[in-house]
Amino acid sequence: MTSNKLEAARIRELEAIHGQSDTRDVLARATSQAQAAYDDYFVVDIDAHVSEDHFWGEVIELIDNDYLRDLGMTQLKGFGGNNALLNIAPGLSHQSVGGRIGHQGRREPVEGVEGHPFVIAAQRGMDAMGLDYQIVFPSAMLLLGMHPQDEVEVALAGAFNRWMVERILPMDRRLKGLLYLPYNTPEACEALVEKYAGADDIIGFTVCSTRNNAIHSDVYMRLYAMIEETGKPLAFHSGYHWGDPSFAQLNRFLSMHALSFTHYNQIHVTNWLINAMPERFPKLKMLWVESGLAWIPFLMQRLDHEVLMRPSEAPGMKRLPSEYMQEMWYTSQPLERTNMELLEATMKVMKAETQLLYSSDWPHWDWDPPSTITSLPFLSDQAKRNILGLNAARLFNLDTTPLKPKADQVLAGRPGRS
Amino acid sequence: MSADSRDIAIGAYDELKERERIVLDIDGVSIGVYFIAGEIRAWHNVCPHLGGPVCQGKIVPRTLQGVDEATRKSRGLQLSQDEKMLVCPWHGFEFDILNGRHAIDDRHRLKAVPVRVEAGQVVVTL
């Protein structure tokens, strides 16, 4: 090859990205995407995660039962470590794909920075992605619905909620939480709703979907009435459980993960609709979290088809299941984007322009940056603004005054790093 | 090579080849340069998935599905002894370092940067 004249250039080397990289460096490209496409949007992330196991001692200390607190502290210092009292199986936790995706379970470098490590990491993530608000969910606790000891779920729910409300959320007004409900024990859920319904930073309630409770059971009617009365939404956050007999047939994490996150929310939505819960609690706002979108048109068609043939089994319904589903809310992640025609049809049938809420799931392995919405070719600018934040503002009654720094300020804060 | 492209020397080949990979920002353009099995490749540091910093991710052996040819029974997952993959740190998309193609769907490809060795210098064309 004939050479051009070699030219001088300003060259600097970029570091590898790994599990101890600064969030602002990992997400610098997302900041650039914000700068280019959505810096003036109001953006709310409905589903991000606390790696609460990193601060598990702080939570265990707040357990109000002496015996379980002592047991938890003992496990924390011993074999249980950061998974004390929990029912997750570390040996089956393949989220990072053998370390290929470093941000799952990441440790933020915070040496020399004042503040709680979780809040520092969350602030860096919000700034880097251009978020005005972020709602934080637990991570390891997502499987507690399958814990064999109901009293442990109750104890950890109480401690975690207290940790969030008293310690974490007051540190940054952009952070908001949904109250964890220990759904295997309805009376304990009612007590927590009563205690925290008026907390400013608690903008809704959440049930971890990975469980085998029938959500139409009469044991929950008082709870639903109490939540309906607050006007705040009830979110079912999906998850996985490899030990479920159906999923135990699957030999790869990806197979189990792909199916289980849609499976649990499909079961709960089906029970909710066929038992006419939308008619019994017409003002209760239902939000379905972290199942993506592809399952929604499937379930709409499937249930409409069967309800029309078997109306005597769903006599409380006054409309088709799909029509009720169009009035529910859904979060976007993990957004299935491999077939734009199907995605466009999905968003149309679920009324995404008013019912879909952007969620990142950061820092989990299959997270979505806001550009997953802004880069969709078939959405109007208004639809993108609605999905990225305005629908959430309406659902959660959030003030839409911008709170985030501009992207160029964020990039200027890490000059030459990524 | 377009009329306004330019050649930039990024360093001595003998030194860089020992590093396997170097990721650079050159006047605002980010690229990764790889020295694998006696070959040199350079790729734009932009994942075709969602724009992640693909070149700053891990380098791993390609994972293979072992199958016994005679019985067609699985031998389980195995690691290739010679094929290297570049993993986007954002979402795990894996690309063959030598040809830039995704491990399963080669419609997802890294964008190549022309690279050569000239007078002992590694030269990229941007």
* Residues A100, B92: C-beta atoms closer than 8 Å: yes
Cα Dmax for chain A? 82
Chain B contact present for A401, CB below 8 A: no
Total domains, chain B: 1
The pLDDT value given to residue A107: 85
> Is the Cα torsion angle A382, A289, A23, A256 positive or negative in sign?
negative
Cis ω for the linkage preceding A369 (within 30 of 0):
no
The pLDDT value given to residue A327: 98
Question: What residue in A sits closest to B105 (Cα-Cα)?
Answer: A338
Chain B contact present for A18, CB below 8 A: yes
Structure tokens given for A379: 């959405």
Chain A contact set for B22 (CB, 8 A): 13
Distance (Å) from the alpha carbon of B81 to chain A's nearest alpha carbon: 17
- The answer to whether position B1 is within a domain reads no
Question: What residue in A sits closest to B85 (Cα-Cα)?
Answer: A100
Distance (Å) from the alpha carbon of B100 to chain A's nearest alpha carbon: 17
Chain A contact set for B45 (CB, 8 A): 14
Chain B contact present for A1, CB below 8 A: yes
Answer yes or no: are the C-beta atoms of A194 and A222 closer than 8 Å.
Answer: no
Chain A contact set for B8 (CB, 8 A): 6-7, 9, 11
User: For each successive 10 residues of chain A (418 residues), what is the average pLDDT?
Assistant: 66 92 95 97 95 91 98 96 94 94 87 93 97 94 96 98 97 97 98 97 98 97 98 97 94 97 98 98 98 98 98 98 98 98 98 98 97 98 98 98 97 79
Chain A contact present for B29, CB below 8 A: no
Answer yes or no: are the C-beta atoms of A95 and A364 closer than 8 Å.
Answer: yes
Question: What residue in A sits closest to B61 (Cα-Cα)?
Answer: A100
The pLDDT value given to residue B67: 96
- The answer to whether position B43 is within a domain reads yes
Nearest Cβ partner for A100 among B23, B53, B60: B60
Question: What residue in B sits closest to A23 (Cα-Cα)?
Answer: B90
Chain A contact set for B118 (CB, 8 A): 3
Sheet containing B115-118: give its strands across: B7-12, B121-125, B115-118
Chain B contact set for A335 (CB, 8 A): none
Three-state DSSP class for A121? helix
The phi-psi region of residue A390 (left if phi > 0; otherwise alpha if psi is between -120 and 50; otherwise beta) is alpha
Three-state DSSP class for B82? strand
Angle, alpha carbons A297-A331-A217 (nearest 5°): 75
Chain A contact present for B51, CB below 8 A: yes
pLDDT digit string (tens) for A366-381? 999 999 999 999 999 9
Chain A contact set for B56 (CB, 8 A): 14-17, 418
Nearest Cβ partner for B8 among A6, A16, A97: A6
Answer yes or no: are the C-beta atoms of A180 and A195 closer than 8 Å.
Answer: no
Q: What is A23-412's CATH topology?
A: TIM Barrel (3.20.20)
- The answer to whether position B75 is within a domain reads yes
Q: Which domain holds residue B82?
A: 7-125
Chain B contact present for A266, CB below 8 A: no
The pLDDT value given to residue B1: 57
Give the ipTM of the model, two decimals please: 0.94
* Residues B92, A99: C-beta atoms closer than 8 Å: no
> Which amino acid is residue A203, in one-letter code?
I
* Residues A11, B24: C-beta atoms closer than 8 Å: yes
The pLDDT value given to residue A1: 43
Three-state DSSP class for B30? strand
Three-state DSSP class for A381? helix
* Residues A3, B123: C-beta atoms closer than 8 Å: yes
Distance (Å) from the alpha carbon of B3 to chain A's nearest alpha carbon: 10
Answer yes or no: are the C-beta atoms of A220 and A196 closer than 8 Å.
Answer: no
Chain B contact present for A7, CB below 8 A: yes
CATH number of domain containing B71: 2.102.10.10
pLDDT tens digits in sequence order for chain B, 126 residues long: 567 899 999 999 999 999 999 999 999 999 999 999 899 999 999 999 999 999 999 999 999 999 999 999 999 999 999 999 999 999 999 999 999 999 999 999 999 999 999 999 999 999
Answer yes or no: are the C-beta atoms of B120 and B14 closer than 8 Å.
Answer: yes
CB atoms within 10 A of CB B74: 11
The pLDDT value given to residue A415: 72
* Residues A7, B8: C-beta atoms closer than 8 Å: yes
Chain B contact set for A33 (CB, 8 A): 51
Distance (Å) from the alpha carbon of B70 to chain A's nearest alpha carbon: 23
